[in-house]
Each structure stands twice: as structure tokens, then as C-alpha cells.
Amino acid sequence: MTRVKKGTNALKSRKNILRKVKGYKHGRGTKERQANEAIFHAGTYSFAHRKDKKGDFRRLWNVRMAALLKQNGTSYSKFIPMLKKANVALDRKILATLAEYHPETFIKILEAVK
């Protein structure tokens, strides 16, 4: 059997790994073994934080609506059930955008569901 040298393949995989960790601090940006570990952890965190981001945005939308609702004499916890009872199919993202950029429209929605 002939001898197979894997120099080019090893260099290719090393180059790809180091390309992914460009800008990482200390040895994680330059050393192959540490870079592999960093890539693994980064993937784990990115998966978890994609899930967290959804909750973060929902919390932000709730706060934006609550601020305008408080000025108009109601609360977020009373407003959401009123929406459901009136069969208004607007989600929190749209309502928060209306509250921030078009408060007069949001107030009309509030008056309609009261």
C-alpha cells in the first residue's frame, strides 16, 4: 500500500478552524485545539441565546406597551385580556411598534377594546 501524507488536508482543516475564530482573545484565536473548543462553546451559546432573544424581545414589547397604557389609565395585565375578549388578533410586536411610533393609533385600539 502506498504512503498517504495528509499535510494539505491538515492545513486546510486548520485554516478553516482558525478562520472561524478570527478575533478571539488569547490562544483561542491562534491555537488549533483551543480554537476547536472555542467553536464548540460558541455554538452551544448561540443556540441557547437564540432562544433567550425571543423572551428578551417579548419583555421589551410588554414594557413599551405598559408605558403608554399607564398614561391612559389602565395596565398591561388588564389590556391583554381585553384584547382577547374583543378578538383583536394583533400580536405584541405590532402593538409595541404602534405604541412607540403611532401612539394615537394605539390609543384608538385601546378605546375600541374597552
Q: What is the pLDDT of residues 40-87, one digit of tens each?
A: 999 999 999 999 999 999 999 999 999 999 999 999 999 999 999 999
- Contact by Cβ (8 Å): 35, 17: yes
Q: Domains (ranges, CATH) in the chain?
A: 8-113 (1.10.1900.20)
CB environment 21-40: b (16+ within 10 A), e (fewer): beebeeebeeeeeebbebee
Give whole-number Cα distances, 55 to 11, 29, 60, 66, 69, in Å. 42, 32, 9, 16, 21
Residue 6 scores a pLDDT above 80: no
More reliable by pLDDT, 4 or 93: 93
